[in-house]
A and B are shown apart, each in its own frame.
Chain A
Amino acid sequence: MRPLRVAAILILLAVLSLFPVILSQYYVGLITQMMIYAIFAMSLDILLGYTGLPSLGHAAYFGVSGYMVGLLSLKVTKQFALVTGSGLGAVIAISAIFGLMAIRTHGAYFLMITLALAQVLWGVAFKWRSLTGGDDGLPGVPRPSLGIPFSLWNTTNFYFFVLVVFLLVVAILSIFIRSPVGHALKGIRESETRMRSLGYNVWLYKYLAFIIAGTFAGIAGMLFTYYNGFISPADLSIVLSAKVLLMVILGGAGTLIGPALGAAVIVLLENLISAQTERWLLILGSIYVAVVLFAPAGILGTLKAKLRRSVNT
């Protein structure tokens, strides 16, 4: 198992670093997008798959740091550390405040309150024209200068920048979910009452998970704003929240790589299909129905179950 896993990771790394050589600029950009959404989806999975908290407002944290990066870069400073530091600070503060309100609830109520909180931010971005540009958004966000001799305006260089962040996030999250805290979150998903009587401060763990999930969503949001050079209320909206939820469910909630896979599939389909038809959302909806009916455990979950069955027989 172990050497096999190492080999798989090495091959994946080699393929990922070869992409810019073999693929056209268009596809390199597409894969950059996939990795950004993968970070976003993995962050939501900390809540949904590991802790059992279904958030329908995860775009809030993606958008908050995105707006922070956009506003600062356009109006104050382009200094990378300052801009991303403020973006992270903003998303941690917002998740810490929203978490206080959301963590008190369960199930469908959690879903509703996260949605409502995200809509508040959407409303602010939409109405506060003088600051956010309203529904025109903030165009022309410049990419950062890292003080290295590679310009991030170059598609390939930006791809590698995102790749490094993506790999770091995967590494951090894969340790996190195997850590004592990660195990405790799974325990909370399975039985809160049991966790409490064992001696776990369930509220604190959920709050921690909420802030961590928000923070990583914020990292994705900042990358996305740099990638697009643009941020608008759509990046805080329920449409994006629903899309990332679908990525997690499609790929397989409760696995780390599943949501990344789901993100890749959705981004690819969205780009391929919207080139053919305007009815992209209709297709997205059908995918959702099909997954819930035929593969409720997601792509990775279904594959794992198949594999287990074939090993057992």
Chain B
Amino acid sequence: MNSPCLLVKNLCKNFGGLQAVNDLHLSLEPGERRAIIGPNGAGKTTLFNLISGTLPPSSGKIHLFGEDVTRFSPHRRAALGLARTFQITNLFPNLSLFENVLLAVQALDKVKYSMLRPVSSYRRLESRTYELLEEWGLREKAGELARNLSYGDQRQVELILALAGKPRLLLLDEPTSGLSPAETSTVTEAIRRLDSDITIVLIEHDMDVAFGLADRVSVLHFGSLLAEGSVNEIKDDPRVTEIYLGGE
């Protein structure tokens, strides 16, 4: 695989007069771990919405795994191997944890268009669902409604749903937001343990988490790329310190 896993070229997104994303370039090698940091309103989540296809770009191109997907719908991008989590927990609140994960498991299976057989008759979906729940230590909560789970568990389910389809590129939108220090280290550890073939883009406000997980860091500021480099380069970059701490 020579082509980059994710390639973003001249990407722009305007909301009326506001340029949320402005002429952005990004290129990720397969297996790379990239953190995207930047102050609030820098356009990080907008960038994720553009990559995953929930928002159409104003101009520019997005390539996934060497294919131009700029005009692809979100579900076609997912079928190529793209998965994401949401900054604001986005589960199926009135379905059980089991059903939540099951929906993610069947999402990229051919049977998702089957309507004349109960889903329980597809053993492989059920066993894969329990396998995932087992892996994350949530097996005994399988019957609980997603909305009754603790916030920490819900954030983990966000990750499980994204991982269920065995993605090649994973977009994580602040996976640790709102978690206690102990929960943060659990989630960080889980992300670190993920298969090293999975390419990960991570939005994170917690610098320890971002710098701990990433190989490279991109800094966004007012929708533009301010800096990009290895963790140490970014840590020492005076411009980055300036936008986070203000001018001296």
Contacts and interface: CB of A to CB of B under 8 A. Distances in A.
B83 A197 contact: yes
Interface in A172-219: 175-176, 178-184, 186-187, 190-191, 193-202
Contacts of B116: 175-176, 179
Contacts of B109: 180
Contacts of A200: 75, 107, 112
Contacts of A201: 73, 75
Contacts of B52: 197
B74 interface: yes
Contacts of A184: 103, 106, 112
Contact of B119 (A178, A195, A199): A178
Interface residues of A, number: 23
B193 interface: no
B107 A186 contact: no
Interface residues of B, number: 39
B91 interface: yes
Given A187-B95, A198-B78, A198-B161, A179 B119 contact: yes
A180 B119 CA distance: 5
Q: Is the interface of A mostly helix, strand, loop or mixed?
A: helix
B103 A197 contact: no
B54 A199 contact: no
Of the listed residues A176, A194, A195, A196, the one surrounded by the most CB atoms of chain B closer than 10 A to its CB is A194
B84 interface: yes
Contacts of B90: 191, 193-194
A180 B122 contact: yes
B104 interface: yes
Contacts of B31: none
Contact of A186 (B92, B104, B113, B161): B92
Given A179-B118, A184-B112, A197 B99 contact: no
Contacts of B103: 183-184, 187, 195, 198
Interface in B44-92: 52-54, 73-75, 78-79, 83-84, 86, 90-92
Interface of A: 175-176, 178-184, 186-187, 190-191, 193-202
Interface of B: 52-54, 73-75, 78-79, 83-84, 86, 90-95, 99, 102-104, 106-109, 111-120, 122, 125, 161, 165
